[in-house]
Structures are given as C-alpha cells and as structure tokens.
Amino acid sequence: MPVRALLLLPLVGSLLHSSGCSPSTTSAELGAPPTAAAASLSDERPSATIDGAPSSPVGVLGTDHVGLTVTDLEASRALFVDVLGFRVRGQDESYPAYFLTNGHTTVTLWRAEDPEHATPFDRRRNVGLHHLALTVDGFETLDALHERLSTHPGVVVEFGPELAYGGPAKHMMFYEPSGNRIELVHRPAS
C-alpha cells in the first residue's frame, strides 16, 4: 500500500467513526469513489470538521503539545498542577522533564541544561514562543485564577483580567516561575 494511503487511514477511520459508519461501510455507501482512501495529499479531502469548522485541507488538526524550557522545574510543575489544574502524565528524569495535561492541552516542561546561566527570553527581540494562551471556561474562573496567581510564589502578573481588543473576550497575562509568559483567556460563545 502506498505511504500516502497509509497516512490517510487514521483520517478515514476517524471520519467513519464520527459519521456513524463502521469499517465495513463501502465507499459507494459513503458517496465516494472506491479509490478515495488512496487519494494523495494534494487531492480534496472529505469535509471533516473541528468545532463545527472545516478541518485543514492537509489534515493538520491542532496543537498536540507545547514544550517550555524552564529554569525551576519543580516550581513550574507546581504552578501548572496546583493552580492551573494540570496533572502529571509522565516524566523523564534523565532530561529532566515533566509531561502535563488537563485533558485538553499537553504541556511539556523541560529543565534548562544550566539553569543558573540560562538566557531569559525577550519576546520583542528573540524568535520563539511569544506566549502560551490557555482557554478558561468562564469570566468567574478567570477572576479566581487571577486571585490565586497574584499570591503564588514566583509568579509575576503582567496585567489582570481585562477586555481583549474591545471584547467580548477577556484575558490576563502572567509569567510563570521560570519566566514563560502565559495568557489566560475566555471567549464567550457568540
């Protein structure tokens, strides 16, 4: 089987599952030609959706994880777990690193090789991650997290909850203990 067909098999299986079809559903029942599963990446894809919007024409569905380099691995882990509600999914003591998830987003925290001499990131002068934006489930949650973050050791709040670009979304920005800039945002349904 060609490599491009193998790459499409997970997408086809996902589409079948989300449409209520079984693996034995024929291509004719789907309204597709028999060769649809072997279509090249440049061919038009079936119209899968993500949150009601058409998916990427090349199959990129979203962010799998974000990796952050930190100087204080334990302090950064404590912030994500104790304040932001993530849980430790795994760790690598040889790197060292923590792999954290909240069920929606995965964040990998990697300790800098030489934390004492690590160069702080300057978002205005360096190429790299400007900030990590996390969605929260409501304005009340945003306000409560602002209160907790304001007193959490090592956290610097850049600004508290405010309208984002005129609203209706609200957001806030803070720096976690190793200096990574994080945004919390709530965008109410329109």
- pLDDT for 166-176, tens place per residue? 999 999 999 99
> What are the DSSP E strand ranges found in 122-163?
132-135, 156-163
User: Is pLDDT at 15 greater than 50 in this prediction?
Assistant: no
Q: Is residue 61 scored above 70 in pLDDT?
A: yes
Q: All domains of the chain, ordered by start, with CATH? A: 3-35+46-54 (no CATH), 66-186 (3.10.180.10)
Counting residues of the chain whose pLDDT is more than 90, the rounded percentage is: 59
> Would you state the structure tokens that stand for residue 78, as one six-digit string?
């404590």
Average pLDDT, rounded, for the chain: 79
Burial of 175 (0-12, 13-18, 19+ CB in 10 A): middle
> What is the phi/psi pair of residue 88, to 5°?
-75, 120
Instruction: Give 9's pLDDT tier (boundaries 50, 70, 90).
Output: very low
Q: What angle do CA 138, 175, 108 make, to 5 degrees?
A: 85
Q: Is the pLDDT of residue 23 over 70?
A: no
Give 3-state DSSP helix, strand, coil % of the chain, rounded to 5: 25, 25, 45
pLDDT category of residue 8 using cuts at 50, 70 and 90: very low
Distance between CA atoms of residues 64 and 43, nearest Å: 25
